[in-house]
Amino acid sequence: MTVPGGVGLTGEVGVIDCPICVGQLHWEQAPLLTLDADGTENPLDLRTVHGDANRRRLLMHAYRRCPGNDAQPPHLLPERFPGLGTRPVTIGLVGASGTGKTHLLAAMVSRLHDATVMARMNLQVQGLDLRMHAAYLGGQVSRFIDRREELPATRIDAPVEFAVGLMVDDLVSGRSHTVVIFDVSGERLQSPDRDLAFINQLSALLCVVDPTAVLGLTGPRQGGVGGDHAFDATMDRLKNARCRPGSPLVPIPAATVVTKADLLTRRGYSEITRWLPHGLHEDLDLGTVEEESRAVYAFLASRNGKRWLGPAHECWDSTLHLASATGTSAVVTEEGARTVGRFPEASFRQRRVLRPLLTLFALTGVLDMGTARNLGRPEGAR
Amino acid sequence: MSAADGDLITYRWSERSLLGRNGVGPVVTSLEPDELVRWDDRLRSLVWAAEPGRDRPARPGHVYRRFGDRAVLLRKESVRDAKGRVGSTEAHVLIAPADRLTPRAALAICATPWQEWLPPETRATRPGALPADRAQPVRLDRLLDLAESFETDALDELGQVPHRLAVRLGALLLAEPDRPLTVIGSPARGEAVVRALAQVLDGFVAHSWEFASLEETDTAAELPGLVFLDQPPPVSLHGGHGRLRVRAAAAADPPAGAAAGPEDRRVADLAERLFSLTRRLGPQILDRLRPERAAASSAEVLQLGERLLLAPGVLGNVDVLLRMAALGDLTPEESGYLTAKRFLTGIEDGLRRLPSGELAAVLRLWEQHPQAVRTFADVRTRLHTEAVARCLAAEPGGEPELRAMLAVSTPDPRAVHEALDARILPRLHQWEPRHALAVVDVLTELHADDMPTERQAVRLLAALEPETLLDAALRRVRSSPGAVRVLLQGLGPDLSRRSRNRLRAVLERSRAVPDLLTKLCADAARGEGSPADRQLLTTLLDLVLGPRADADRLRRLLAACGPTPPAALLHALLSKVDSRRGREVVRSAAADLYLFGRLSGADGRRALTHPDHPEEPPR
């Protein structure tokens, strides 16, 4: 039996691809365990637990241990990861160091927990692993959204694992999906590290473009034309792992987001004026994603940003977006013993951040919409 | 890079690092490009500094690791990157031969102000300025000299490491030397904790002392064995990769509590004793306990513990305990160990294993602190026995330190007898017969010449010919008169005719005969001569004067004795000489002695009293 939005109690999961090390893991044979407050592992024997309710309660906090491989040490997967009866969706944030991936993700997750917004999309979202999700909400999201604090750069030495794990229920289709989102440092994405095998198995890419890195977009002598090495390295990995010889396209969708879009306002970029951040509400109308994509593509292609369009060219489904996760720049202040970057309250806001993620939801089947059928594809391919 | 140089890499955020990537990467180095690629593979997961905590001032973290014959030391600090973003990192990496960049050297370098010795090229340039990407290597000898000058500050910091924390961590390292350890929330800086641990445990347990003094998480694969976090690591799907995580606050709990197994308790006891000993007496005391080879596994640690824990609550060896006893710094358990009869055999064994220099040092300490060691009289006797035995067994001139100490401290007679009976006499057959003469000389030097019993002396000298003994006695009568009596005891009461002839030949060759006779007579006059001694005197006179003691020989002998021949000699001669002429010669000498004494103011009458009956004048 598979419980919608919950845990498979009797259903056999069988062999899955680990989203972290991409090794094959026989789910039922992997050690089942729980963690105490110190992170110490304790074996969990369900045979000693009476009643489905008790089992379900325990399994919400349970993990399976994946042995990893020579590149990736042993790691845990939440027991609920494969248990929704659908194929888990893995999304990778891609972009060089300093492009704003971490802020964009925190802003997205914050929006996903806005019940009003989710109700409009007929979605319900909850954390996959309650422990990790609570830590993410209490750490990254609260620090960024509530305290307006600039988030530190993603560490090179952070373990390779998904930053956010979600269980997304589509109330229209009645289907539930596990969605996990990786946010690895830009430095690491550019490196040849073997422990980034997760990229090979990604279901979708969320590519982040920093407009300050593109020559002239935010200042006359600012930026360059060389593109993003993290994009290039990621696409190379994917092409090697997923493309058949002679096939030009990587068979996953990609949403390319020009973030920090607030920096592009009042600069006379008429082709994207409609899509620049404004208004109070999130633009949730995915029916206009195609238009926005065309506009952003043209914008980048014509204004020194061609080299950032690799994912848009090379992924099977691709969309392009404008978004602003902060609306402003952080002001650095000394607060007690530490230096903090804090966003001014008056101009701090998140705009259009959820739209790229919802688009990927639609492109990966998490969100079942009629409009999603043709999203991201060239007209000839529809 | 030469062995005299250390290479450098500086990591910080840039749009394009030396490896062509954006973000935090190498921006300045003294390495060649291919070497840089190799080192970057190893180091890039180590360069990220911990973000300062809400209540903790920013401070640099250090990482020390070894890779083959090279060691690296990283200094990393949380900084704002070129885009102004907080929480980025700047790291300087020193790469040097591992035999020069040792853990101790690394810890000392951690304490130096790096900006003073890093080349200027490694500093961040102003925005817009063209950055330099080449740096000169660092001269290691200069850097190590500088580090040494900062070592005192680092040592002062050791006092900030809580004893309970050090003991707890020490016990964990002893229990599982190979297991990586993460310490969370240490009140002392990681560098100080590593130094405190290494200062005590290095040499006892085989540990590389590689460390990361301030990290944010402990999951990076390249992290060293000892990692320090200010805060618990972020929630993650990755555990500590087999790391044992210890919260410093919980280290105040009893170590390896009652629930722990006996082996854990033994290891915890060993750690407690090692750290307590260091706290009481300083780290140098442990140099006396370190095994030849450090324990590399928990089983070897347990074996080491069994060797070092002499009794419950008593850690160390005889050397350490005797030093502490002299200083009056013993716990009740240690004091009990030194006073209990049942441990004396163990103490003797321990003393036998001590190098002579250490034994002499302990003797010196005990002489300097007689009050403190009065309680341990039995141990003092054992100490002297060991020292005396070594001196007696040594080649001539050997064990100078011990001999000097014993000469000052006057060994306990029981110690001399014990050394002779148990250690020297049973081994006599292993040595050249003349070694017995050296034994006698040492006994004399130790003022112990009167300590060997006649039985011991006879046994000691039994292998030597009588003429050898007499010759030795004659040679020593001026320089070492104390040895004479012992040597002559070795002649024994009964001499064969052949022996007598040989002895006579010896006497005829020697000019020291009068001295020898004078010495024997003087001993007799002091009442020290036993009947056997007097018999010996008589025997010698027989040999000197011949069986008939003719007057000419008597005159020559008395003339050789000078104007004041010993009265005891005159007595002996009177009792020996039968001939009239002979007795006249002796009486004449006695009269001369009497007159000489009167004229010179000396008490001639007294000089002429009978040696055995002072009130009786000679007849």
Residue range A132-161, pLDDT digits in tens: 999 999 999 999 999 999 999 999 989 999
User: From CA A257, how far away is CA A296, in angstroms rounded?
Assistant: 9
Give the model's pLDDT for residue A305: 97
The lowest-confidence range among A31-45, B132-146, B389-403, B458-472 is: B458-472
DSSP one-letter code for B269: H
Q: Average pLDDT of B420-430?
A: 85
**Residue B90 bridge partners (DSSP):** B77
Which residues in chain B touch residue A211, judged by CB atoms under 8 angstroms apart?
none
Neighbours of B438 (CB within 10 A): 19
Give the model's pLDDT for residue A93: 98
Give the model's pLDDT for residue B450: 62
Cross-chain Cβ contact B44/A332 below 8 Å: no
Cross-chain Cβ contact B85/A153 below 8 Å: yes
> Above pLDDT 90, what percent of chain A?
70
Q: Is pLDDT at B355 greater than 50 in this prediction? A: yes
Cross-chain Cβ contact B85/A339 below 8 Å: no
In terms of CA atoms, which chain A residue is nearest residue B14? A97
Average predicted confidence (pLDDT) for chain B: 83
Written as six digits, the tokens of B345 are 């055999």
Give the model's pLDDT for residue B532: 67
Residues 261-320 of A with CB under 8 A from B: none
Q: Is pLDDT at A378 greater than 70 in this prediction? A: no
Indicate the pLDDT class of residue B523, thresholds 50, 70 and 90: confident
Neighbours of A316 (CB within 10 A): 17
Buried b (16+ CB within 10 A) or exposed e, A202-215: bbbbbbbbbbbbbb
Indicate the pLDDT class of residue A246, thresholds 50, 70 and 90: confident
Q: Is pLDDT at A230 greater than 50 in this prediction? A: yes
Give the model's pLDDT for residue A9: 44
Give the model's pLDDT for residue A283: 77
Q: Is pLDDT at A361 greater than 50 in this prediction? A: yes
CB of A253 within 8 A of CB of A376?
yes
Instruction: Tell me the whole-structure pTM to 2 decimals.
Output: 0.77
CB of A52 within 8 A of CB of A1?
no
Q: Average pLDDT of B54-60?
A: 77
CB of B281 within 8 A of CB of B289?
no
Average predicted confidence (pLDDT) for chain A: 89
pLDDT in tens, A316-326: 999 999 999 99
Q: Phi, psi (5° rounding) for residue A75?
A: -150, 170
Is A48 in the B-facing interface, judged by CB distances under 8 Å? no
Going across the sheet that includes A62-66, the strands are A41-43, A32-35, A62-66, A75-78
Give the model's pLDDT for residue A279: 65
Which of A332, A85, A101 minimizes the C-alpha distance to A205?
A101
Written as six digits, the tokens of A76 are 């845990």
Q: Average pLDDT of B6-14?
A: 95
A261 CA: distance to closest CA in chain B (Å): 17
Among partner residues B58, B81, B236, which is closest to A337 by beta-carbon distance? B58
User: From CA B600, how far away is CA A346, in angstroms rounded?
Assistant: 123
C-alpha of A85 from chain center: 21
Indicate the pLDDT class of residue A168, thresholds 50, 70 and 90: very high
Q: Is pLDDT at B616 greater than 50 in this prediction? A: no
Instruction: Label residue A255 left, alpha or beta by phi (over 0 means left) and psi (-120 to 50 means alpha).
Output: beta
Cross-chain Cβ contact B237/A76 below 8 Å: yes
At CB < 8 A and 24+ separation, what contacts does B470-474 make? B470/B503, B470/B506, B470/B507, B471/B506, B471/B510, B472/B437, B472/B440, B473/B516, B474/B506, B474/B507, B474/B510, B474/B512, B474/B513, B474/B515, B474/B516
User: From CA B103, how far away is CA B201, in angstroms rounded?
Assistant: 13
User: From CA B312, how far away is CA B328, in angstroms rounded?
Assistant: 20
Written as six digits, the tokens of B275 are 């750290």
In terms of CA atoms, which chain A residue is nearest residue B20? A229
Give the model's pLDDT for residue B256: 45
CB of B618 within 8 A of CB of B604?
no
Q: Average pLDDT of B420-427?
A: 86
Give the model's pLDDT for residue A1: 34
pLDDT in tens, B149-161: 888 777 777 788 9
Among partner residues A135, A191, A340, which is closest to B234 by beta-carbon distance? A135
Is B86 in the A-facing interface, judged by CB distances under 8 Å? yes
Q: Is pLDDT at B126 greater than 60 in this prediction? A: no
pLDDT in tens, B237-257: 987 667 888 999 876 555 444
Q: Is pLDDT at B128 greater than 70 in this prediction? A: no
Q: Give the residue, B102 or B318, on which the prediction is more confident.
A: B102
Give the model's pLDDT for residue B592: 80
User: From CA B404, how far away is CA B446, in angstroms rounded?
Assistant: 8
pLDDT in tens, B543-591: 888 777 777 888 888 887 777 777 777 877 887 788 888 888 888 888 8
Which of A316, A296, A301, A311 minimizes the C-alpha distance to A374?
A316
Q: Give the residue, A302 or B85, on which the prediction is more confident.
A: A302
When scoring A41, A69, A338 by the number of chain B Cβ atoms within 10 A, the one with the most, hence best to mutate, is A338
Which residues in chain A touch residue B89, judged by CB atoms under 8 angstroms apart?
153
Residues 212-251 of B with CB under 8 A from A: 216-217, 219-221, 232-241, 245, 247
User: From CA A219, how far away is CA A242, in angstroms rounded?
Assistant: 38
DSSP one-letter code for B259: T
Indicate the pLDDT class of residue B526, thresholds 50, 70 and 90: low
Give the model's pLDDT for residue B188: 93
What residue type is assigned to position B556 of the chain? R
Indicate the pLDDT class of residue B613, thresholds 50, 70 and 90: very low
Written as six digits, the tokens of B585 are 């010669």
Q: Average pLDDT of B164-190?
A: 93
Which residues in chain A touch residue B84, judged by CB atoms under 8 angstroms apart?
329-330, 332, 341
Q: Average pLDDT of B165-181?
A: 93
> Helix, strand, coil: what percent of chain B each, to 5?
55, 10, 35
Written as six digits, the tokens of A86 are 């659908």
Q: Give the residue, B573 or B198, on which the prediction is more confident.
A: B198
pLDDT in tens, A42-60: 899 988 888 889 988 888 8
Give the model's pLDDT for residue B583: 84
The lowest-confidence range among A279-288, B346-355, B610-619 is: B610-619
CB of B456 within 8 A of CB of B487?
no
DSSP one-letter code for A122: T
Which residues in chain A touch residue B61, judged by CB atoms under 8 angstroms apart?
none
A5 CA: distance to closest CA in chain B (Å): 21
In terms of CA atoms, which chain A residue is nearest residue B215? A157
Q: Phi, psi (5° rounding) for residue A90?
A: -115, 125
Indicate the pLDDT class of residue A348, thresholds 50, 70 and 90: very high
Residues 140-159 of B with CB under 8 A from A: none
Neighbours of B610 (CB within 10 A): 15
What residue type is assigned to position B341 of the chain? K
Q: Is pLDDT at B596 greater than 50 in this prediction? A: yes
Give the model's pLDDT for residue B47: 96
Give the model's pLDDT for residue A13: 86
Among partner residues B220, B235, B238, which is closest to A131 by beta-carbon distance? B235
Q: Give the residue, A238 or B134, on which the prediction is more confident.
A: A238
At CB < 8 A and 24+ separation, what contacts does A242-245 make? A242/A200
Q: Average pLDDT of B486-515?
A: 79
| Three-state DSSP class for residue A231 | helix
Q: Give the residue, A345 or A285, on which the prediction is more confident.
A: A345
Q: Give the residue, B472 or B10, on which the prediction is more confident.
A: B10
Give the model's pLDDT for residue B582: 83
The lowest-confidence range among A197-201, B107-111, B368-372 is: B368-372
Handedness of CA B297, B303, B307, B308 (dihedral sign): positive
| Three-state DSSP class for residue B246 | strand
Give the model's pLDDT for residue B2: 63
Q: Is pLDDT at B303 greater than 80 in this prediction? A: yes
**Residue A43 bridge partners (DSSP):** A33
A248 CA: distance to closest CA in chain B (Å): 26
Give the model's pLDDT for residue A3: 33
Residues 347-376 of A with CB under 8 A from B: none
Q: Is pLDDT at B258 greater than 70 in this prediction? A: no
Q: Average pLDDT of B113-121?
A: 91
User: From CA B444, how far away is CA B212, in angstroms rounded?
Assistant: 62
Q: Average pLDDT of A289-294?
A: 94
Buried b (16+ CB within 10 A) or exposed e, A121-140: bebbbbbbbebbbeebbeeb
Angle at B67 between CA B61 and CA B69, to 5 degrees: 120
User: From CA A48, how far away is CA A68, in angstroms rounded?
Assistant: 28
Is B185 in the A-facing interface, judged by CB distances under 8 Å? no
Which of A310, A218, A316 minimizes the C-alpha distance to A268?
A218
Indicate the pLDDT class of residue B169, thresholds 50, 70 and 90: very high
C-alpha of A192 from chain center: 21
pLDDT in tens, B360-389: 998 898 888 887 677 888 898 899 999 989
